[in-house]
Amino acid sequence: MSTQITLMTVCLMLSGCVGASELKHAPLNADNSANVLLFGGNIITMDDGRPVAEAMLVRRGRIRSLGSLVDLEMLSQGAKRVDLKGATVVPGFIDSHAHVRELGTDAIKADLVGVTNTAEMVSRLQQKFPNPQPEEWLLGQGWDEGEFASNGYPDRLLLDRAFPNNPVMLESLHGFAGFVNGKALARAGITSTTSNPEVGEILKRPDGSPSGVLLTLAQKMVTDQIPPLSNSQIKEAIIAGLTTMAAEGVTSIHEAGMEAADVEAYQQLAETEELPIRVYGLLNGNDELLMNAWFQRGKLERTDGMFAVRSIKVFYDGSLGSRTAMLRAPYSDHPEKASPTERISPEAVNSLAERAAKYGFQMAVHAIGDEGNDRTLGIYERALKTAPKQDHRWRIEHAQVVLPDYFDRVASNGFISSMQSSHAVGDSGWAEERVGPERIGYAYAWQKILKAGGRLMINSDLPGEPWHPVETLYFAVNRMKLDGTPAGGWYPNEALDVEQTLKAMTIEGAYGAFQEKEIGSLKPGKYGDFVILDKNPLTLDKANLAKIQVLATYVAGRQVFDK
């Protein structure tokens, strides 16, 4: 990979009182024994026992005390003094559903977010790859399969004309469709006579030739031809992704769907203390060989809390935008164009759930449609009968469209709904067309989950929609896009307030990783994972939440980002 990665640096603990933006730095692998005294601003703890504090002292990486500045100064000898100068401290944001390695590798891909036609895709590819070598793979990511499915999927004609000598593979925004040129189709051996795979579809032109669009697992026929990244490239991508996230106030991520090569790279980075922020790993449950190995091995949880693997991410159904999610009733718009998809059989998911219950692993299943969610809940309920007292914390990833009984079922069983505020606003232009006016009342229904007593995590699913935590906060509170549309918010009755959203992005994310005793709130004994913001989200006009700036990010008292 040609992209040069520069590791973030951390604070060198010197004496004297300075502002957050004036702190000096040491290498990332500097001494972990960080001692910091913060005062002179707003400290929001997300701890019900002490919601706010005047000052906070961190010693040897953990929070020693919160209280008045006078009391803490007596305990703070030798600690770095940070005058917040009116800024606000909150617990570090936990992105509880992210694809960080993809975020890092996106640096080598053309950015296709926001394109509306093939000509724009070609233009961005030409900007990214002005002089490609013959036969070199050209990669892109970010075209919105939901928007294109509504307006008509693209055709490869312009791709073929622009890049006759290079295979092109363009991933969609949410990963449920791929767009390729004729060269890539030839590499994969896909012709007019090629049958659809068991799960997925090769879209065809009227004359029967492939159009270049591949839905769900049909993409694998092409992606299998792309040379894999090396171990060193994967580690570079991981560090690039994690440092990018640290700069936006994220102190912990849940990596959703780790392949064997990803796990190896993360483990190596953890062992050499190169991870700038915490990582909670969800294994790719669709890989049976990987899962067999980990069921035999058992869970992994490092004593320093920087890396853990104890969860299983299963891709079950498809996406609403591409009409591949599993709905109980037909799609309301163009049911003839729908291809409801099970990426893995219910029997295989059930087997995973039974073994997860036996070996103490957490299940986290991608379920978008109401039928997909209902089947997943049924599998969970049956599997956990063998371990009724287990603190399982099993998760539903996305839960976008659900049946009316979903809310009581997740609450009574202790299942966690892991949802993305960006998806609600990103899908708002076409989601109701897909499911109709009745089912939309049970879609992206955050308040219904909370009112039923369920647990809710709000996260990004990056690198698809806008993912910065302040944007995630804005979307959840406003149910609007960043441009303020739709006016008044999309189904605003399901919007969260700021405090609910912060909770869903901090302490609930910690709970969803069995880490609430160590991170997620600012409380004595927990790690000093926190973010300094230029404005107080609890008092700021909600229309301006996305404009909040991150001034500094700390993990275990170490400064991993300084604006």
Instruction: Quickly list DSSP for 436-455.
Output: HHHHGGGBS-HHHHHHTT-E
Tokens of 542: 């909600």
pLDDT of residue 8: 33
Q: Which band of pLDDT confidence, cut at 50, 70 and 90, is reported for residue 199?
A: confident
The answer, yes or no, to whether residue 355 has pLDDT greater than 90, is yes
The answer, yes or no, to whether residue 287 has pLDDT greater than 70, is yes
Same domain, 197 and 219: yes
- H-type alpha helices, 452-542: 469-478, 498-505, 507-511
The answer, yes or no, to whether residue 26 has pLDDT greater than 80, is no
Q: Is 518 helix (H, G, I), strand (E, B) or coil?
A: coil
Same domain, 214 and 127: yes
pLDDT single digits (tens) 434-443 = 999 999 999 9
Q: Is 335 helix (H, G, I), strand (E, B) or coil?
A: helix
**Integer CA distances (angstroms), 89 to 46, 81, 521, in order:** 11, 14, 11
Which CATH number goes with the domain that contains 140? 3.10.310.70
Phi and psi angles of residue 514, each rounded to the nearest 5 degrees, phi first: 60, 35
pLDDT of residue 146: 87
Q: Which band of pLDDT confidence, cut at 50, 70 and 90, is reported for residue 465?
A: confident
Same domain, 40 and 152: no
The answer, yes or no, to whether residue 83 has pLDDT greater than 60, is yes
Task: With CA atoms as reference, report the closest residue to 482 among 107, 114, 174.
Answer: 114
Same domain, 121 and 187: yes
Residue 129 lies in a domain: yes
Domain's final residue, options 223, 256, 284: 223
The rounded distance, in Å, linking the Cα atoms of 514 and 360 is 12
- Burial class of residue 414 in the structure, from the number of CB atoms within 10 Å of its CB (0-12 exposed, 13-18 middle, 19+ buried): middle
Domain's final residue, options 177, 197, 223: 223
Which CATH number goes with the domain that contains 548? 2.30.40.10
Q: Is 116 helix (H, G, I), strand (E, B) or coil?
A: coil
Please tell me the pTM assigned to this model.
Answer: 0.84
Same domain, 163 and 218: yes
Residue 373 lies in a domain: no
Q: Which band of pLDDT confidence, cut at 50, 70 and 90, is reported for residue 176?
A: confident
The answer, yes or no, to whether residue 1 has pLDDT greater than 60, is no
Sequence-separated (6 or more) residues with CB below 8 Å from residue 446: 419, 421, 456, 458, 476, 494, 495, 496
At position 79, the amino acid (one-letter code) is A
Task: With CA atoms as reference, report the closest residue to 419 among 445, 458, 387.
Answer: 458
Same domain, 208 and 150: yes
* Chain position carrying tokens 């449950």: 285
The rounded distance, in Å, linking the Cα atoms of 454 and 309 is 24
pLDDT single digits (tens) 475-526 = 999 999 999 999 999 999 999 999 999 999 999 999 999 999 999 999 999 9
The answer, yes or no, to whether residue 208 has pLDDT greater than 50, is yes
Sequence-separated (6 or more) residues with CB below 8 Å from residue 374: 328, 402, 403, 406
10 Å Cβ neighbour count for 78? 9
Task: With CA atoms as reference, report the closest residue to 514 among 344, 305, 338.
Answer: 305
The answer, yes or no, to whether residue 25 has pLDDT greater than 80, is no
- Burial class of residue 439 in the structure, from the number of CB atoms within 10 Å of its CB (0-12 exposed, 13-18 middle, 19+ buried): buried
Same domain, 152 and 188: yes
Residues paired with residue 93 on neighbouring β-strands, in sequence order: 250
Residue 266 lies in a domain: no
Q: Which band of pLDDT confidence, cut at 50, 70 and 90, is reported for residue 27?
A: very low
Task: Give the largest Cα separation in the chain, rounded.
Answer: 81
Q: Of 105-119, 258-272, 490-504, give the lowest mean pLDDT range.
A: 105-119
- Burial class of residue 468 in the structure, from the number of CB atoms within 10 Å of its CB (0-12 exposed, 13-18 middle, 19+ buried): buried
What element of type H or E holds 216? none
The rounded distance, in Å, linking the Cα atoms of 324 and 176 is 8
Residue 261 lies in a domain: no
* Structural domain boundaries, residue 52: 1-92+521-563
Sequence-separated (6 or more) residues with CB below 8 Å from residue 441: none
The rounded distance, in Å, linking the Cα atoms of 472 and 446 is 14
pLDDT of residue 198: 85
pLDDT of residue 395: 98
The rounded distance, in Å, linking the Cα atoms of 399 and 449 is 10
Same domain, 147 and 114: yes
At position 434, the amino acid (one-letter code) is R
Query: What domain count does the chain have?
Result: 2
The rounded distance, in Å, linking the Cα atoms of 339 and 125 is 29
pLDDT of residue 174: 84
Tokens of 233: 């490239």
Q: Are 159 and 118 in contact (CB under 8 A)?
A: yes
* Chain position carrying tokens 């694809």: 99
The rounded distance, in Å, linking the Cα atoms of 247 and 554 is 10
Kindly calculate the radius of gyration of the chain based on its CA atoms and give it in whole angstroms: 24
